[in-house]
Amino acid sequence: MSKTAVSTENAPKPPAKFSQAVRKGNLLQVAGQVAFDPATGAIVGDDVVGQTRQTFKNIEAVLAEAGSSLADAIMVRVYLTDTAHFAPFNEVYNELIGEAPHAARTTVYVGLPGELLVEIDVLCVLD
């Protein structure tokens, strides 16, 4: 069973040598996405709410390219830079994640480059 890279112009290009997502069999791992505008490379949003919305747009673009959606997610990992961002992030997350059952989620507090406030990666199982 081979691995296949997933790539779309509708999400930012990775800054290092990795794919936006990789599929092997019915597993799809979307690499960590951030709030970069795919056309300009600029950060979209000056707070965690705006950045979370753009990050989800990027995730959804990669998922769509792979023939998937958030409905296929079984694990979501969220990286936030500040514990104070948890509540506003959760409001947007709950709005955007979709109908139950929801994927498992882990939230980790880290340092991210520049003015980035959130990064999210997603693991999906496809039919």
Read off the pLDDT of residues 35-86 as tens digits, 9 standing for 90 and up: 999 999 999 999 999 999 999 999 999 999 999 999 999 999 999 999 999 9
30 SS3 class? strand
d(CA 103, CA 101): 7
In the chain, the N- to C-terminal Cα span, in Å, equals 16
DSSP at 70? G
Which tokens is 5 given?
């890279």
Residue percentage of the chain with pLDDT more than 90: 90
* pLDDT band for position 103 (cuts 50, 70, 90): confident
C-alpha distances (whole Å) from 11 to each of 7, 27, 39, 122 are 8, 20, 8, 14
* Diameter of the chain measured on Cα atoms: 43
CB atoms within 10 A of CB 50: 16
What pLDDT does 11 receive? 98
81 C-beta neighbours (distance < 10 Å), count: 16
What domains can be seen in the chain, in order of their start residue?
3-125 (3.30.1330.40)
